[in-house]
Structure 1
Amino acid sequence: MLQIHIMALIPVTTEWLHSLESLKDVPENQLQWFIDHSAHLELHAGDFLVKPGEVIRGTQVMVSGKVLMYSVQEGIRRELFTVTRGDITGYLPYSRAHYAGLYAEAIEDVQCMMLPRELGREMIQLHFELTQALVHIMTNRVRDFSLAQQQNEKMLALGKLSAGLAHELNNPAAAIVRDAVTLKQHLQLIPERFKDVIGIRMEDSMVEALSQLFYPMVLQRKHQNLSLAQRMQEEDKLTEWLNNHQVANSDDIAETLVEFGICETDLEKLNKLIPARFATNVFNWLHSNLVTEKIVEDIEESSNRIASLVNSVKIFTHMDRDQGKDFTDIHPGIRNTLVLLGFKIRKGKVNVIENFGADVPHANVMAGELNQVWTNLIDNALDAMEVNGKGTLTITTRRRDPDKIEITIADDGPGIPPNIQNSIFEPFFTTKEMGKGTGMGLEVVQKIVRQHHGSIQLNTSPAGTAFIVCLPVT
């Protein structure tokens, strides 16, 4: 609760109000009305003028002191601006805001005067110049604050993507490190393997035949989708075969052979070309080659995964292009958004269905701005499905008219209640818990879509929610 200490430390006069740039042209009688009908308040450092969710009580003029305006997002306090002597804040004429979306905390002792909100209608009807001055303040405030919040929303979205990207990059990066260590250890065994191999005495024709048989097995590697039980069964069969042929290190060799899809029949073919006394040496040498091949494959796959993620970021941000409009295929932007939100999608056990129309033309858009639209809509959909512990995200694109394209992002969450559907695009409106959302995401989405001369429509029911974005081709 706001603690109010009735104590006017500095006399507020019409002369003092006239000294403020925003009120200098307001007639004296209107300023006197403003003073006479206002309460004079004092706040001590640490007191709150208002907190998120509380009713905005009236129009406040700062007489002395400082009030810090900040939000809390993702548990992080984000300082936005400071209200100081002469600034006017709180409720302003024609504002639709009834509840505060920010914290307003006194950071030093503050004196302010406050015109109660319920007198706003009387002021609008009887005091034109005062109303006009306050509306001008509101216009500037909305413009400046919207720009700040849009930038803040971009940074918040970037933070979410960065967190997901860190998880996405961590697995392949860790795999590369792990494989590099394994490869180093494996290469240290080569001198021992060399001693074993160098002592093998085989006819040139047999060596050639063995080479022509073995290496195609590696190049034509058979990828088997085996269950754990099937895999263990295959390994046991090969281990038994190797033991029957007096091959040392049979367990490790069998595991690697199954990985490459080499079966008992293949071993029989190889064994016909290997003298019995050299079986251990040859099969261990073949095993060593396969292990090296597998490690290099894993490193290549992990490196490609990292390169793919980096390329997704590059395309998502359009770092290699200017930020003007260009005829662009919208699908790569949507797909790259899904890649960057991949960790959140898997964590939420969400199945993604892409119904992308083959006849959707390129559109003249700012791709970087639209990526922010996809990020907000998809992220909101993923949040909506959290309560179910799983879900299905369906993204559909189609050519609606010869000169329009339509993008639908639908989830099977619980839907948006009817009583708040008309408010979802309003600035600072959010249904998310405190600190998780700013209430600016959908407002930013609507602004970007309108900037492209498009439209956005909401369809929602207890069975799910769909946002339908329509954009002109040119």
Structure 2
Amino acid sequence: METVTVSTLKTFEALKNVPDDQLQWLIDKSKDRLLADGEYLTQQGQPLAGPHFMIKGRIVLYIIQNGSRREIATMRPGDISGYLPYSRGVTATASSHAVGGAQIMSFPTEKIREMVKDHFELTQALVHVMSNRVREFTAMQQQNEKMMALGKLSAGLAHELNNPASAIVRDSVSLLEHLKMEPVSFKKVISIQMTGEQIDAVNNELFRLLAVKDNPELSLKERTKREEEIADWLDERNIENRYDLAENFVDFGFGVDNLETFCSHIPTDSCSPVFNWIGNLLTTERMVQNIQESSHRIASLVNSVKVFTHMDRGSDKQYADIHIGIKNTLMMLIYKIKKGNITMVKEFDQTLPPVNAMIGELNQVWTNLIDNALDAMEPNGKGTLTIKTKKDREFVRVYIIDDGPGIPDEIKSRIFDPFFTTKEMGKGTGMGLEVVHRIVHQHNGSIKVKSEPGRTEFIVCFPIDG
């Protein structure tokens, strides 16, 4: 075992400016320990001891998250861990054990009061270590919670992206097969004798009908009746593929009167090839529309991810519409909302001005609160999620309300505590609401909860101007 001297402790970055007599007092009051490979220094949830000064070897710190071990730091010679002056923590938030053996110097926790009273510079140095540790741990947990939030969304997002992507593949294959049949239709049309005026009249009528985007929605009974009317009209004129054409024409809002208009510009014996050519154009149009719609859906989802994570912006506060962040969060959670048979109620105050905030961090707040609400309603198999925004003088208030079973009174005061969770193993870290609480306070705001069976309401309030 290496003998610890004042010179040894002077190699510690945190202790290099501490007077020698105080370091010697620290050595005299401490106990040297050798840890074997795999031997624990701390265990998560056990009382916190120390401080501990790393002399030789290596110690790994880790937490158990979602049922698996996650390493968060490695202690090397010159590092300080354990209980520190003025620390509010009384239990270890992580486990740690030696890797290949280690030597530490442990100071008895019960003598911390004496250190604070008689050794100012030593106390000051260790408080500085604690401040750095809190800042680093906070940053790590916030980033970890952001990754957890994205992890929660990834499965649903993959499902939402897969649907339009599959539709694009399916429709593009169908379109390719459809276009292979065009030469036959083209051959029949090209042999028709029509004047330039007649061709223009047919084209004008066709594009006029295609330009109509607000065709009335037909009931199944109304649609069937119109298809039968068109099919009978086509049959009377010996036009081929009348049932396929009737279905296609109804899709695009055509009626018998429109077909009569077309016929008035077409030679009587040429109606069949012209109407089939029009039918083929409409089929192509519908397939392209479907591909376009699916592509827009994918683009919208990707844009939601971009806005949600705020990839293209810095982490500083900036003025933005909070409704955009809330809507994008809902878009990211849409699969879970649909799967849970959740009814959405949005009551947004349209008079709200842009708020000065860290948008990416606020999106974490909305994600955690909305995701918790969805989890709460899951056992019921259905539910109503209400999101309200309201301007209250120079503040903005956001209400997230669910009709789940509520939060029991005995745990309501603990829900914002670090590592507290009521979810089963693998579903919660206990850091979600703690991170929410921290982010809201970073915005000089507050978060309150009101809960009773059948109604839980989280109210986030922060200044509009930050």
5+ long unaligned stretches in structure 2: none
Say whether residues 1:429 and 2:417 are aligned partners.
Answer: no
What residue number does 2:403 align with?
412
Say whether residues 1:123 and 2:114 are aligned partners.
Answer: no
Letter in 1 for 2:440: V
What residue number does 1:216 align with?
208
Distance 1:127 1:323, change over 3 A: closer
Identity of aligned residues (%): 48
Displacement, 1:73?
4.8
User: SS of the counterpart of 2:111?
Assistant: helix
Q: Does structure 1 conserve the Cα–Cα contact (< 8 Å) formed by 2:51 and 2:84? A: no
> How far apart, CA to CA, are the structure 2 residues paired with 1:126 and 1:349?
61
Distance 1:51 1:179, change over 3 A: farther
> How far apart, CA to CA, are the structure 1 residues paired with 2:227 and 2:60?
68
What residue number does 2:357 align with?
365
Give a deviation string over 1:340-364, Cα, whole Å, max 9, x none: 3333332333222221113223333
What residue number does 1:382 align with?
374
Distance 1:450 1:259, change over 3 A: same
Q: Does structure 1 conserve the Cα–Cα contact (< 8 Å) formed by 2:390 and 2:398? A: yes
Matches within 5 A, 1:302-317: 302-317=294-309
Match of 1:326 among 307, 315, 318: 318
Say whether residues 1:247 and 2:239 are aligned partners.
Answer: yes
User: SS of the counterpart of 2:330?
Assistant: helix
Match of 2:273 among 266, 281, 305: 281
Q: Does structure 2 conserve the Cα–Cα contact (< 8 Å) formed by 1:415 and 1:462? A: yes
What residue number does 1:186 align with?
178
Say whether residues 1:140 and 2:128 are aligned partners.
Answer: no
Distance 1:228 1:112, change over 3 A: farther
Displacement, 1:146?
1.4
CA RMSD of aligned residues (A): 3.8
Give a deviation string over 1:107-131, Cα, whole Å, max 9, x none: 434566778xxx85x4344453587
Distance 1:338 1:104, change over 3 A: same
Match of 2:385 among 375, 390, 393: 393
What residue number does 2:190 align with?
198
Displacement, 1:141?
2.0
Give a deviation string over 1:208-229, Cα, whole Å, max 9, x none: 5544544433222564545667
> How far apart, CA to CA, are the structure 2 residues paired with 1:96 and 1:212?
79
> How far apart, CA to CA, are the structure 2 residues paired with 1:152 and 1:94?
26
Distance 1:94 1:324, change over 3 A: closer
User: SS of the counterpart of 1:59?
Assistant: coil
What residue number does 1:470 align with?
461
- TM-score scaled by structure 1? 0.79
Q: Does structure 2 conserve the Cα–Cα contact (< 8 Å) formed by 1:60 and 1:112? A: no
What residue number does 1:342 align with?
334
> How far apart, CA to CA, are the structure 1 residues paired with 2:42 and 2:453?
35
Displacement, 1:231?
5.2
- TM-score scaled by structure 2? 0.80
> How far apart, CA to CA, are the structure 2 residues paired with 1:95 and 1:451?
21
Match of 1:174 among 154, 166, 172: 166
Q: Does structure 2 conserve the Cα–Cα contact (< 8 Å) formed by 1:68 and 1:104? A: yes
> How far apart, CA to CA, are the structure 2 residues paired with 1:407 and 1:465?
14
Say whether residues 1:447 and 2:435 are aligned partners.
Answer: no
Q: Does structure 1 conserve the Cα–Cα contact (< 8 Å) formed by 2:440 and 2:460? A: yes
Displacement, 1:294?
1.3
